[in-house]
């Protein structure tokens, strides 16, 4: 149904998110199946494991340690499919494949899916910004701040209770399996960290070398465990300089080299039943300034939106007055994007399989505006000192949706 909708909108090369075995949301179930012996945890995740045609479960079954590394923004195009990193430990390589991101292809939604095994429509963190009725404003779901700069009402958003599904760390803990998060030092007590991992032990790194060494140290500790690693550098630079920039290319090579030398090489020598997986939450699209048009300017021609937009400039949620308003919006957007009702998108499976969260329409709006090609729809006009971001994500292009999955096994 979703494919026919997008084909009908003239977008046959849109990449649909996979929730049935070929997407990043399936990784949590794969990890649980490998590390967890209790059927209640193995069988109760919302999404199934990664398909056996992508990763044979027998190859990682009963691993003592799984190291799952997420390189933010490390899309298949940016990463060259992960070929350079895969080549750094070819004798231990199990798989080099490709997964899809979720929809929207953005960090808040994707990292939550990776760390819960639920689709965005199931866990509810279905956008970079969302309208939260309890806060009565649109909230940035990475920083947990109001996008209009206003003060948030006290206790309006509690990251300890916002998720309706347990994290992968909770599930493992119930089965007696330890976990540790290795991520940036400054994120140690951020709301998004608390949302995802709660009181799971946290190791904060400052540099790529420290990141790789911490992953190695944690993988060598005794006992069954999950080591979850996160690196933000590629995404940060791609937003600032563009995904095809020399800065991003160098960053990719530096983090790949750090992982190859600091994690994979030592594991090749003395890994003790350790499986390493490297993937990403999403990729990025190039978004030149000349291919952007401010969303409020489009709305002036199509009819005023009844609420501030949610999401982000390549995957916006808007609230219209109904089907005719939506038709006029689509007319103004033209071939630069696709406009669809949220209900149609939900029923077609864009946000994942049922049951979906009942609050999605409150949080997103009744209509989606998805950017095609290089286009983007910023939510406000540029101010005097604003710097245009030549890289963005959230929509359904191949550059945003495809990420590599690289898997090694050591000492098994």
Q: How far apart are CA 131 and CA 150, in angstroms?
A: 14
What percentage of the chain carries pLDDT values higher than 70? 98
Locate the domains of the chain by residue range.
Answer: 16-120+152-285+397-410, 289-392
Closest CA to 128 of 302, 405, 389: 389
Pick from 42-51, 216-225, 344-353: least confident? 42-51
Q: What is the pLDDT of residue 2?
A: 87
Over residues 233-247, the pLDDT tens digits come to 999 999 999 999 999
| pLDDT band at 384; cut points 50, 70, 90 | low
Over residues 93-141, the pLDDT tens digits come to 999 999 999 999 999 999 999 999 999 999 999 999 999 999 999 999 9
Sheet holding 367-371, edge to edge: 310-312, 315-318, 367-371, 337-341
Q: Are strands 178-184 and 225-231 parallel, antiparallel or unpaired?
A: parallel
Task: Determine the 3-state secondary structure of 202 from DSSP.
Answer: strand
Query: Please, what CATH class does the domain formed by 16-120+152-285+397-410 belong to?
Result: alpha beta
Q: Torsions phi, psi of 35, nearest 5?
A: -95, -20
Closest CA to 103 of 2, 222, 249: 2
Helix, strand, coil shares of the chain, percent, nearest 5, are: 40, 20, 40
Closest CA to 118 of 167, 170, 152: 167
Terminal CA-CA length for the chain: 43
Q: How far apart are CA 54 and CA 141, in angstroms?
A: 31
Residue 261 CA: distances (Å) to CA of 97, 206, 208, 397, 412:
22, 17, 11, 33, 20
Residues 61-70, mean pLDDT to the nearest whole number: 97
**pTM, 2 dp:** 0.97
Cα angle: 49, vertex 55, 61; to 5 degrees: 70
C-beta atoms surrounding 199 within 10 Å: 9
Q: Domain 289-392 falls in which CATH fold?
A: Gyrase A; domain 2 (3.30.1360)
Q: What is the pLDDT of residue 207?
A: 98
Q: Are strands 202-205 and 178-184 parallel, antiparallel or unpaired?
A: parallel
Q: Residue written as tokens 């999950």?
A: 226
């Amino acid at each position: 149904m979703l494919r026919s909708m997008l084909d009908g909108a003239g977008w046959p090369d849109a990449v649909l998110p996979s929730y049935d075995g070929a997407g990043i949301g399936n990784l949590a179930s794969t990890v649980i199946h490998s590390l967890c012996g209790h059927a209640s945890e193995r069988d109760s995740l919302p999404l199934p494991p990664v398909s056996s045609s992508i990763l044979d479960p027998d190859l990682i079954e009963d691993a003592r340690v799984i190291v799952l590394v997420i390189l933010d923004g490390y899309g298949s195009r940016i990463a060259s499919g992960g070929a350079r990193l895969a080549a750094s430990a070819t004798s231990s390589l199990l798989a080099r494949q490709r997964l899809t991101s979720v929809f929207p292809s953005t960090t808040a939604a994707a990292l939550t899916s990776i760390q819960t095994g639920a689709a965005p429509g199931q866990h509810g963190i279905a956008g970079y910004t969302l309208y939260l009725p309890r806060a009565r404003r649109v909230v940035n779901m990475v920083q947990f701040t109001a996008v209009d700069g206003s003060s948030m009402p006290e206790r309006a958003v509690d990251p300890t209770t916002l998720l309706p599904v347990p994290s992968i760390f909770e599930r493992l803990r119930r089965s007696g399996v330890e976990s540790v998060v290795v991520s940036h030092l400054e994120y140690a007590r951020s709301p998004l960290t608390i949302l995802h991992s709660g009181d799971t032990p946290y190791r904060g790194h400052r540099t790529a070398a420290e990141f790789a060494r911490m992953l190695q140290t944690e993988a060598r500790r005794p006992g069954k465990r999950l080591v979850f690693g996160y690196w933000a550098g590629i995404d940060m630079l791609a937003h600032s300089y563009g995904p095809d920039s020399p800065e991003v290319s160098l960053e990719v090579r530096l983090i790949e080299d750090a992982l190859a030398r600091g994690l994979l090489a030592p594991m090749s020598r003395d890994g003790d039943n350790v499986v390493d997986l490297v993937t990403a939450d999403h990729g990025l699209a190039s978004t030149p300034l000349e291919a952007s048009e401010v969303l409020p300017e489009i709305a002036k021609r199509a009819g005023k939106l009844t609420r501030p937009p949610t999401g982000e400039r390549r995957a916006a949620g808007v609230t219209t007055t109904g089907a005719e308003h939506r038709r006029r919006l689509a007319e103004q957007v033209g071939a630069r994007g696709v406009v669809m009702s949220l209900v149609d998108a939900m029923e077609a499976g864009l946000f994942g399989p049922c049951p979906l969260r009942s609050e999605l329409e409150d949080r997103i709006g009744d209509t989606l505006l998805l950017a095609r090609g290089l286009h983007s729809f910023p939510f406000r006009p540029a101010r005097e000192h604003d710097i245009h971001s030549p890289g963005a994500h959230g929509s359904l292009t191949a550059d945003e949706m495809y990420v590599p999955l690289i898997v090694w096994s050591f000492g098994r």
